[in-house]
């Protein structure tokens, strides 16, 4: 397994994996399948060139099968914070520690950024496996957003978590 920062040339395979994620776990992401399907490849290429957005991919034999994104806040009063979002590993690769490795990569990236003190994330409360990973990594819950995500007629609560870097 090779973990690396995604580049503009990875935009098509990233979009394909993102669409897979939205089919497999639509409640876990704020974007819908239809919204991501409408995104242009150019949008992802631009994101992968951003100084404040770091998307890491897990590859095996040049196949992208896992991703995570670290976003640095850009406002002066909030630039001590980063947010992890979009963690996804294709189902047949979930038992080999890929999610944990991707999370460690994103956390290490946050630690390397000058002035960053916190890593934040949110997770759908009913997603016990990924919540367990976040707890094991040292994330601490600090709030719940009731009915944060609505999928059809079903609501999902979201838990907010933070890791303080030291």
Q: What is the pLDDT of residues 102-132, one digit of tens each?
A: 999 999 999 999 999 999 999 998 888 899 9
Quickly state the pLDDT bin for 150 (edges 50, 70, 90).
very high
Contact 56, 39 (CB under 8 A): no
Treating both helix axes as pointing N-terminal to C-terminal, what angle do 98-112 and 128-137 enclose, rounded to 10 degrees?
40
Q: Which two tokens stand for residue 78?
A: 């909030």
Question: How many domains does the chain fold into?
Answer: 1
The whole-angstrom separation of Cα 55 and Cα 87 is 10
Domain with 105, as residue range(s), is 2-164
pLDDT digits over 59-80, tens only? Answer: 999 999 999 999 999 999 999 9
Query: Global pTM?
Result: 0.94
Residue 43 belongs to a domain with what CATH number? 3.40.630.30
């Amino acid at each position: 397994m090779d973990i690396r920062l995604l580049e503009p040339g990875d935009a098509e395979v990233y979009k394909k994996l993102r669409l897979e994620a939205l089919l497999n776990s639509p409640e876990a992401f704020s974007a819908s399948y239809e919204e991501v399907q409408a995104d242009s490849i150019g949008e992802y290429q631009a994101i992968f060139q951003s100084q404040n957005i770091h998307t890491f991919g897990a590859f095996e034999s040049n196949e992208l099968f896992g991703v995570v994104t670290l976003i640095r806040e850009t406002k002066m009063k909030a630039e001590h914070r980063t947010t992890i979002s979009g963690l996804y590993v294709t189902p047949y690769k979930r038992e080999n520690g890929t999610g944990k490795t991707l999370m460690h990569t994103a956390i290490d990236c946050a630690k390397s950024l000058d002035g960053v003190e916190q890593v934040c994330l949110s997770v759908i409360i009913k997603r016990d496996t990924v919540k367990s990973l976040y707890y094991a990594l040292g994330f601490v819950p600090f709030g719940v957003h009731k009915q944060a995500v609505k999928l059809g007629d079903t609501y999902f609560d979201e838990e907010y978590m933070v890791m303080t870097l030291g």
